[in-house]
Amino acid sequence: MSQQRKAVALISGGLDSLLAAKMMIDQGIHVEGINFYTGFCVEGHTHAIRKKDKAKPKRNNALWSAEQLGIKLHIIDIIDEYKDVLINPKHGYGANMNPCLDCKIFMVGKAKQWMDANGFDFIITGEVMGQRPMSQRKDLLPVVVRESGADDRLLRPLCAKNLAATLPEREGWVNREQLEDFSGRNRKPQMALAAKYGFIDYATPAGGCCFLTDKNYSDKLVDLWQARNKKDYELDDIMLLKVGRHLRPQPHYKLIVSREDGENKFLKGYKKQFSTIEIKSHNGPLTLVDGEVSDEEFRFAARIAARFSQGRDADSVTVKLTRKDGEEQLVDIPPLPASDIKQEWYI
Amino acid sequence: MSHFTLDARRSLCPMPVIKTQDKIAELQAGDTLEVTCTDPGALSDIPAWCRINGHIVKESHEKNDEVVITIQVG
Ligand code: SF4
């Protein structure tokens, strides 16, 4: 009996990687999934923070895909290593701060290391030629193959027939005839294949698999780097970019104003790392102050925060100002009039 | 067979899943692991991870904004 070959599948949680893995399973390949967590992934997070999203619990689509396929899924934390990919992408950024080509090269390279360490034979991805402007352009697919080190052990079942035969095909581990030749942005062939396999209720993320394709998110990241004068971040920084309203009244400080209860609770966890503003006389947001502020600026920031409280139309609102070192003071301040909140403060 | 605990509080999904996965990799079949999280997403994600990786969720509950999940390693 011939040896059962093993493939590691990059599972993003989207339809394409689900289909690619399913095609291999149907060809008798032992498939296990791998999912990389960069810190920017759309999966998870904010549904845990915002109350309105909690009513509709959000599943982790990578786990869901693995369950549909009946395969193991290994979720790997690459937060630290990914920093270099995002900060110094050799091939540059896409429409926003998404370094898709470098990201793909990095992830396939990590999958190659995992494959070698675990005695697997090849790697599969759900890439479709020409589907995404940056990482899936026809002329760029070979760049991923080459620079990741995966070489001909990288098989893309959904568009394999448009590409040169890879080792698994040449060796007869998989039947090339049963692979697909999808290309371009038309999603109908994938949807038809999903229907054939009986996959319904699959995820259809708009834009991409991570927040870096989102313009608002990217703007906040760029603002963070500009304000700090260096391209760097910690996990907490990138989490906070997903939470609250962000306003920068002056270059040296920014306010993160919670929008609802869930965010309030989440931001409370950061009270030791930031100076904070709490509205005491009315219902209102918790606000973090990112940056060093003078007493006068702290009070001005409190007037902005009060604008977002239920005391917005009151003559005076009582707020508690707490410095990072724990020093507290209660002050009464007039909320800033709506017309004085400048549009350009919003990041 | 031993009992272990894991503190995954204040980390957001999928980090509690990753921490659980990494801890379970060190344990033996039959051991139990009690994971405490503050992200309610863990209530669906950790059991889903357990189902696909052959571990059993013995018990799970929410208490004072914390989620506690007890897993038997498969
Ligand atoms: S969308 Fe994000 S995770 Fe997906 S390839 Fe681009 S940078 Fe990487």
Q: Do residues A16 and B13 make contact, with C-beta atoms less than 8 angstroms apart?
A: no
Closest-CA distance, A72 to chain B, in angstroms, reads 5
Look at domain A6-212 and name its CATH class: alpha beta
Closest-CA distance, A224 to chain B, in angstroms, reads 21
pLDDT confidence band for A207 (50 / 70 / 90) = low
pLDDT digits 0-9 by tens, A110-157 = 999 999 999 999 999 999 988 876 667 777 888 999 999 999 999 999
For every residue of chain B, DSSP letters joined together read --EEEEEETT--TTHHHHHHHHHHTTSPTT-EEEEEES-TTHHHHHHHHHHHHT-EEEEEEEETTEEEEEEE--
Q: Determine, for residues B13 and A76 on separate chains, whether the beta-carbon distance falls below 8 Å.
A: no
Every domain of chain A and the residues it spans: 6-212, 243-345
ipTM reported for the complex surpasses 0.90: yes
Q: From atom 6 of ligand 1, which residue's Cα is the shortest distance away?
A: A100
| Chains A–B, number of C-beta pairs less than 8 Å apart | 66
The vertex-A47 CA angle with A65 and A203, nearest 5°, equals 30
**pLDDT higher for A44 or A262?**
A262
Closest CA to A42 of A124, A98, A95: A98
Nearest CA in chain B to A239: B12
User: Cis link prior to B47 (omega < 30° from 0)?
Assistant: no
Closest-CA distance, A111 to chain B, in angstroms, reads 17
pLDDT digits 0-9 by tens, A159-205 = 999 999 999 999 999 999 999 999 988 889 999 999 999 999 888 75
Our answer on whether the CB atom of A212 is closer than 6 Å to any ligand 1 atom is yes
CA A196 to ligand 1 centroid distance, Å: 28
Number of domains making up chain B:
1
Which domain does B14 fall in, by range?
A: 3-72
Taking contacts as CB-CB distances below 8 angstroms, the residues of chain B near A74 are: 21
A184 dihedral zone (left: phi>0; alpha: psi -120 to 50; beta): left
**Catalytic residue, candidates B4, B9, B11, B13:** B13
The domain that holds B22 is classified in CATH as: 3.30.110.40
Question: Is residue B13 annotated as part of the catalytic site, yes or no?
Answer: yes
Q: From atom 4 of ligand 1, which residue's Cα is the shortest distance away?
A: A209
CA A1 to ligand 1 centroid distance, Å: 40
Q: Determine, for residues A63 and B41 on separate chains, whether the beta-carbon distance falls below 8 Å.
A: no
> Average pLDDT over chain B, rounded to whole?
94
What is the percentage of chain A residues whose pLDDT exceeds 90?
A: 80
pLDDT digits 0-9 by tens, A17-54 = 999 999 999 999 999 999 999 999 876 555 556 655 55
